[in-house]
Amino acid sequence: MNLLITDRAETRLRNLLTAIADFRPVVCVGPVKGGSSRYVNADGETISTPITSGWGVGFYDSSELAPDVKVVIRGIDFLVDERLNDKILDYLDGRFVLSDRSSAKG
* 94: pLDDT strictly greater than 80: yes
Of 106, 62, 54, 73, nearest in space to 3 by CA? 73
| Other beta carbons less than 10 A from residue 64's beta carbon | 8
Domains and CATH numbers, the chain: 4-99 (2.60.300)
Enter the pTM of the model.
0.76
User: What average pLDDT does range 86-101 have in this prediction?
Assistant: 91
User: What average pLDDT does range 59-82 have in this prediction?
Assistant: 94
